[in-house]
């Protein structure tokens, strides 16, 4: 009976070593190995606080400011026309009122379309810029992992102990890479 349990454990060790791709010696030495070095990075902080993310936000604001201003002017024109219809509509002839209502409806439809296109374009460009920031951050994280011999660095976790959080280090490295 005892040898059955022993062979069962040896069989389990053999299966485990095959699954992990380890030799029998490596399985025996796995208990003696150094503990894994693990760290965590808060991606949200990288996207909020890094110089690269702030530069991307400024770039987007500059790129879309002209269209945003045009939309604001169009919204003001729409409001002025609507207020004019409310004020003068009852005293207008039915033909004039219908023509003004058509113009107002057309301007409103144009405004809604341009506003939707603006949001879609802005979201697409924001996603592109943030993806570029995350790509740069991932390269920096990989460099840190290789230089400091980390076995695992996670970016999304439910809880991270401040002891293993290297977000500040990544932010500093990103800032150094941005200025170079």
Q: What range does the domain containing 144 cover?
A: 34-179
Max CA pair span of the chain: 105
Residues 92 and 13 reside in one and the same domain: no
Residues 76 and 13 reside in one and the same domain: no
Residues 39 and 26 reside in one and the same domain: no
Residues 8 and 90 reside in one and the same domain: no
11 pLDDT more than 60: no
Residues 13 and 41 reside in one and the same domain: no
Cα–Cα distance, 66 to 63 (Å, whole number): 7
Q: How many domains, the chain?
A: 2
71 confidence band (pLDDT: 50, 70, 90) = very high
Q: State residue 1's pLDDT score.
A: 45
Q: What's the whole-number mean pLDDT along residues 93-109?
A: 90
Phi, psi for 157 (deg, rounded to 5)? -150, 155
72 pLDDT more than 50: yes
Q: State residue 87's pLDDT score.
A: 87
Question: Which tokens go with 62?
Answer: 């500059």
Residues 54 and 110 reside in one and the same domain: yes
User: Contact at 8 Å (CB) between 19 and 143?
Assistant: no
17 pLDDT more than 70: no
Residues 19 and 58 reside in one and the same domain: no
Of 8-17, 19-28, 110-119, least confident by mean pLDDT is 8-17
pTM of the full structure: 0.67
Pick the residue with more confidence: 170 or 156?
170
Q: pLDDT above 70 covers what percent of the chain?
A: 80
Residues 13 and 78 reside in one and the same domain: no
84 confidence band (pLDDT: 50, 70, 90) = confident
Cα–Cα distance, 160 to 172 (Å, whole number): 19
33 confidence band (pLDDT: 50, 70, 90) = low
């Amino acid at each position: 009976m005892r040898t059955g349990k022993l062979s069962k454990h040896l069989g389990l060790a053999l299966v485990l070593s095959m699954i992990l791709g380890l030799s029998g010696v490596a399985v025996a030495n796995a208990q003696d190995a150094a503990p894994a070095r693990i760290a965590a990075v808060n991606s949200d902080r990288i996207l909020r606080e890094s110089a690269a993310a702030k530069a991307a936000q400024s770039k987007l604001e500059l790129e879309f400011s002209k269209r945003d201003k045009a939309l604001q002017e169009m919204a003001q024109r729409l409001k002025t026309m609507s207020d004019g219809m409310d004020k003068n509509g009852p005293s207008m002839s039915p033909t004039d009122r219908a023509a003004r209502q058509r113009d107002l409806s057309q301007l409103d439809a144009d405004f809604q379309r341009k506003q939707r296109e603006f949001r879609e374009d802005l979201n697409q460009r924001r996603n592109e810029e943030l993806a570029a920031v995350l790509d740069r951050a991932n390269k920096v994280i990989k460099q840190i992992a290789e230089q400091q011999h980390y076995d695992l660095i996670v970016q999304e976790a439910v809880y991270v102990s401040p002891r293993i959080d290297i977000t500040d280090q990544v932010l500093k490295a990103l800032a150094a890479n941005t200025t170079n």
